[in-house]
Chains A and B, each alone.
Chain A
Amino acid sequence: MYNQTEIIKDTSELGADGELVINMGPQHPATHGVLHLVVTLNGETIKKIEPHLGYIHRSIEKMCESLTYRQFIYVTSRMDYLSSHINNLGCALLVEKGMQIEVPDRAKYVRVILSELTRIASHELWLGAMAMDLGAFTPFFYAFREREMITDIMEDTCGARLTMNYIVPGGLMYDLHPDFQKKVKAFITQFKSKVTEYEDLVTNNVIFQSRTKGVGILSAEDAISYGCTGPVARASGVSCDIRKIYPYEVYDKVEFDEVLETAGDSFARYMVRVKEMNQSIRIIEQLIDNIPEGDFVGKTKNVLKLPKGEFYTRVETARGEFGVYVVSEGGTTPHRIKFRSPGFSNLSVLNHISVGSKIGDLMASMGTLDLVIPDIDR
């Protein structure tokens, strides 16, 4: 393990000569999408990273301005496609908050269970992709085996595997699938029996540990000042779990721990996500047998009109705080809408945490930031 600050001092003494500028992406195996990094190198050592965005900009916020409050929810699935259910939930919560719609308990419970399943699925995919970034190909397939069970549950209940669009303002689109509880329980048993595999293959692996420990260190102050949220900030010891601070739905009724690490390096970020999966399992276990009977959707008007004013809601996606800000003029469509996506703030620390490290470290720190490019670019 080498001292990062030492190398920073080392590179700053060198002149502009010998700089090597590499364009990583938009097509690059490690950028997971169309992220374009302009990396300035001195040999193998990184001097500067400049992310270039805009390759997958679809102006979702502008699109939402022409969609009604029922319609704009589905577009948000296409932003952070790995936690599409949680994005939908954030938007639905905003409409419900603005119009004071009562949501039945059954819908609340199901929403939370599906959110946590989505979180596990997202973390599973991240785990596989992260290991792949570091050169281990096999954990990807093991992680996908478990993720497949979740997508099957989603397919059964919501009718789609990735972009669910199961949430409507006031509740759910349709009732749960009869097999839902059985399948979720089967998944929990499978997941618990396979967690040791990740430990053997990834967590305890000496190469993996040396690749991630002490790499990409982000201090708590920097995490706050860059606006990091989610596992990235929690790995630096910043308590920022929206589920704890501003509980929505039934998160105040369930017991779970906010996972905090203090090291702030890539390994801490890795551990936060792995432990978070276990916490999500804990939440699901508490709720799955207690889903109340009753309606799955509350009574809403046919045409939804938000009262005049400004509204903001936030939810905790797999990557951090997802905020929806709507300015309403009282019509059927939002006047102005802004999404606060967690990926954008998390990406902004990339330059800060990887200056002075090697190209290989860039993969470790970028992998643990868990970037989803459509979420950053919208």
Chain B
Amino acid sequence: MFSLEGITTNVQDWLLMKFNPTMALAIECVIVILLSISLFAILGLVLVLMERKVAAHIQIRLGPNRVGPGGMFQTVADTLKLIMKEGLTPDKADKFLFNLAPFVVMMVGMLLLAPIAFAKNFQIWDINIGVLYISSVSSLSVIGILMAGWASNNKYSLLGAMRSGAQIVSYELSAGFAVLTIVVLTGSLQISEIVNAQQNGWWIFKGHIPAVIAFVLYIIAVTAETNRAPFDLAEAESELTAGFHTEYSGMRFALFFLAEYINIFIVCAIGATLFFGGWMPLHIGNWEAFNHIMDYIPSSVWFMGKTFFLIFLIMWFRWTFPRLRVDQLLNLEWKYLLPISLFNLLLVAVIAILGWHF
């Protein structure tokens, strides 16, 4: 059976055979960096096309269909165009921060990639505080957005950045609480252990209603955290033209654009790991034959399938709902999501202590 696990061990063995351990580690680092950059590039191309196709089909249109078969290379063409474009820096902008901001936003995305388990035993860094690491690093993305908004010296950008700041800081809370429910159920912060705990059933099935509530809260909170509609106030098109990236053009704009999609992928990957068992195949109780068939599907396919299902869900939100107003956005968090998630955490703690989950 094809498995990514075999490849990594083979590469590791081969490197250790040829070089001394320090050298091998350095080469592994280079490979990982190259892999993650290429993953970013491919993800960007695929997700943008997916978004446009999903939007088109929801809106009874066809979507891009001219470049390549079924418009497959539309995003490639768009990227080429963006690279060719002149990257303008406004005259009175803070040039250093202005040019730095897109890279900060990208960097946060890259850092978040580390603890994600893409397949069985295929993980960059299985840190023992994986979930904590994720929730702390993901809150850094607001710095890049604030930087961009402030440095642009544009009123729309400033308003967008300030909105984004208020939004990400508040929604961080309920996202954190939703993640905590799973941590309570598992008893570990390590990603690999969370995945292993779902061997005989995913948390969304095992964890009763609180897990479902936590999942709903998580999806809402991360939609807000990634600045996606209906929470796209930071770039609210009809209000602030393009919000914090109004002044960006060319490749720097493309980086912001890419970072948005990378962030969606990452939060969905984490959601899939926590609630849908990551790379764990679907197992149902004592159906031995069924479970055996499910095991034949490679673990990376399971992971990607779940992640893309969640990404689709978030895209579905975007093309259905109107945008919230800024005070309603904060109302929703502080008056609805936060009390519910606090209550939910309590419920989950009771369930975990009494051992009511399967």
A→B interface (CB under 8 Å): 2, 20, 22, 28-30, 44, 131-138, 140-142, 145, 201-202, 205, 207-208, 210-211, 358-363
Contacts and interface: CB of A to CB of B under 8 A. Distances in A.
Contacts of B233: 360
A213 to B, nearest CB: 11
Nearest to B156: A22
Contacts of A132: 238
Given A137-B59, A202-B322, A207-B321, 16 more contacts: A22-B156, A29-B241, A44-B159, A131-B322, A137-B55, A138-B320, A141-B59, A205-B321, A205-B322, A208-B322, A210-B324, A210-B325, A359-B159, A360-B239, A360-B324, A360-B325
A138 B58 contact: yes
Interface residues of B, number: 29
Given A131-B322, A208-B322, A29 B60 contact: no
Which secondary structure characterizes the binding site on chain A?
helix
Contacts, number: 85
Interface string B227-262: 001101100111111000000000000000000000
A131 B237 CA distance: 13
A361 B155 contact: no
A211 B321 CA distance: 12
Contacts of B241: 28-29
B229 A138 contact: no
Interface of B: 55, 58-61, 155-156, 159, 163, 229-230, 232-233, 236-241, 319-328
Contact of A30 (B58, B239, B320, B328): B239
Nearest to A142: B60
Contacts of A137: 55, 59, 319
A132 B59 CA distance: 13
30 contacts: A22-B155, A28-B241, A29-B237, A29-B238, A30-B238, A44-B163, A134-B238, A135-B232, A135-B238, A135-B322, A136-B322, A137-B55, A141-B61, A142-B60, A202-B322, A205-B322, A207-B324, A208-B322, A210-B324, A210-B325, A210-B328, A211-B323, A211-B324, A358-B326, A358-B327, A359-B159, A360-B323, A360-B324, A360-B325, A360-B326
Nearest to B318: A137
Contacts of A142: 59-60
Contact of B327 (A2, A140, A202, A208): A2
Contacts of A360: 233, 236, 239, 323-326
A201 B156 contact: no
B118 to A, nearest CB: 33
Contacts of A141: 59-61
Contacts of A140: 59
Query: Which 3 residue pairs of A and B lie closest in terms of their CB atoms, listed nearest first?
Result: A135-B323, A360-B325, A136-B322
Contacts of A359: 159, 239-240, 326
Contacts of B319: 137-138
A136 B61 contact: no
B235 to A, nearest CB: 11
Contact of B322 (A28, A44, A211, A362): A211
A44 B320 contact: no
Contacts of B236: 135, 360
Nearest to A133: B238
A285 to B, nearest CB: 27
A208 B240 CA distance: 19
Contacts of B328: 207, 210-211
Nearest to B154: A22
Contact of B229 (A29, A135, A202, A205): A135
